[in-house]
Amino acid sequence: MAAFIAKQMVGNQLSAVKGAVGGDGGDDGDDKEKAEEEERERQEAIKEAEDRRKEKHRKMEEEREKMRQDIRDKYNIKKKEEIVEAAPQEEPNPLMRKKKTPEELAAEAEQEELDDFTSKFLLPLSNAVEPSPARGIYILQFQPTNCSAPIAPAPIL
């Protein structure tokens, strides 16, 4: 009796596998169409359920706001005006962020290269350099921070 039951169970499983692997072969077009139709129906049902849920929540929020307004009117409470600031929203997916242009990347790299020494000492000096009429000669004119009188340029020999 046990052997009969075992044979029935294994036989049913084998026949199910045979049908799934490649039984007829002629119904593939119909199966695809049925599967596509079922998927469309499923998507429509999901969308419809989502719309019903949104409508339900909208109605609930309207009722709540009406109750809030009744309480405000009863106790003479003024409604706070919400000032919505245009805060930049954090992008949900870092892979979808805006890509930087080569100019922006170059500017960032240049900014990183500027350290404290460069930004404090070399940039003011570069603004004080004036080209002279003679080619390749530069005159350095700058005002030291602890000196009140301007320094005259050195004569060119």
Tracing tokens 């009744």 back to the chain, one arrives at 70
Would you state the structure tokens that stand for residue 152, as one six-digit string?
Answer: 């005259």
pLDDT, tens digit (0-9, with 9 covering 90-100), for 20-36: 665 555 567 789 999 99
CA distance 110 to 9: 74
Burial class (CB in 10 A: 0-12, 13-18, 19+), 139: middle
114-126: pLDDT as tens digits: 765 666 666 665 5
Stated as kind and residue range, the H or E segment containing 130 is: strand 129-131
Count CA atoms closer than 13 A to 108's CA, side-chain side: 6
What global pTM score does this model have? 0.34
